[in-house]
Amino acid sequence: MLTTLVASSKGGCGKSTLVTQLASHWAQTGQHTAIIDADRQGSSFRWAGMRPDNVPGVLGLQGSRKALQKLPPDTRQVLIDSPAGSGEKELEPYLEQADVLLVPVLPSSFDLYATLGFIEELQSINRIRRGKLPVALVANRLKPWTHASQDAVTQLAEQSPFPIVAQLRDSQAYVLLGALGKGIFDYQSEQVRNQQEDWKPLLRWIKRQH
């Protein structure tokens, strides 16, 4: 079983999007996938409950320390969604169980600086300091044709001790499919193929850690 924790102190950076898209990917590969939603907003919990019959199901659980014990034994992939503003104290129930930690970040200076503060906090966490919990950043909602997006990624890469393992573009596909309980991996159309490509380096990185 692989447990992926998605967290950031910053709101709206794409935590639930990352969780639900990765869940759709793993479910589509035939792996039993569960989401533990530790955010009271319940975005990814609701998403799991909305999945239509013609796509593989994802088990949604509301987050608590006990949720990890409620997972069926055949669960292969667990994704933990967390609320904005989480620090070590809030993430504590999950930090010991997680195999990887992903931090989404938007390409704006406000987001960049807030995230760099969060990254600093992460570096003081024991498991991370000892190299037991690999951390990676995911640049999200990029507009690759703009200088602002590319500058933000460059700045982040220069200042973060953790690698940027994917650059996901800004796309309405995430918004539209998310509202239907689906992800881009539930589709095999030309339109979403480019977006699927964006995830490959992230999926490879996760595989290498496990």
Ligand X SMILES: Nc1ncnc2c1ncn2[C@@H]1O[C@H](COP(=O)(O)OP(=O)(O)OP(=O)(O)O)[C@@H](O)[C@H]1O
Question: What are residue 161's phi and psi, to 5 degrees?
Answer: -75, -15
Instruction: Say how far apart CA 23 and CA 6 lie, in whole Å.
Output: 12
Among 3, 7, 9, 15, binds Mg ion (CB under 5 A): 15
Compute how many residues bind ligand X; rule: CB under 6 A.
Answer: 19
Residues in the chain: 210
Instruction: Verify binding: residue 171, Mg ion, rule CB under 5 A.
Output: no
Instruction: Verify binding: residue 209, Mg ion, rule CB under 5 A.
Output: no
Instruction: Verify binding: residue 140, ligand X, rule CB under 6 A.
Output: yes
Instruction: Say how far apart CA 38 and CA 62 lie, in whole Å.
Output: 6
Q: Please, what is the minimum distance in Å from the beta carbon of residue 101 to ligand X?
A: 14
Residue 30 amino acid letter: G
Beta carbons within 8 Å of 127's beta carbon, 6+ residues apart? 95, 96, 133
Helix (H, G, I), strand (E, B) or coil at 59: strand
Identify which of residues 78 and 168 has a Cβ nearer to ligand X in the complex.
168
Q: Please, what is the minimum distance in Å from the beta carbon of residue 84 to ligand X?
A: 3
Angle between helices 15-28 and 43-50 (to 10 degrees): 30
Interface segment toward Mg ion; rule CB under 5 A; list 9-17, 63-71, 147-155, 187-195: 9-17
192 to 5, 88, 129, 187, 205: CA distances (angstroms): 25, 36, 37, 7, 21
Would you give the binding string for Mg ion spanning residues 17-56, x where CB under 5 A is met?
--------------------------x-------------
Q: Please, what is the minimum distance in Å from the beta carbon of residue 42 to Mg ion?
A: 9
Q: Please, what is the minimum distance in Å from the beta carbon of residue 12 to ligand X?
A: 4
Binding residues vs Mg ion (CB under 5 A): 15-16, 43
Binding residues vs ligand X (CB under 6 A): 11-17, 39, 41, 43, 84, 140-141, 168, 170-171, 174-175, 178
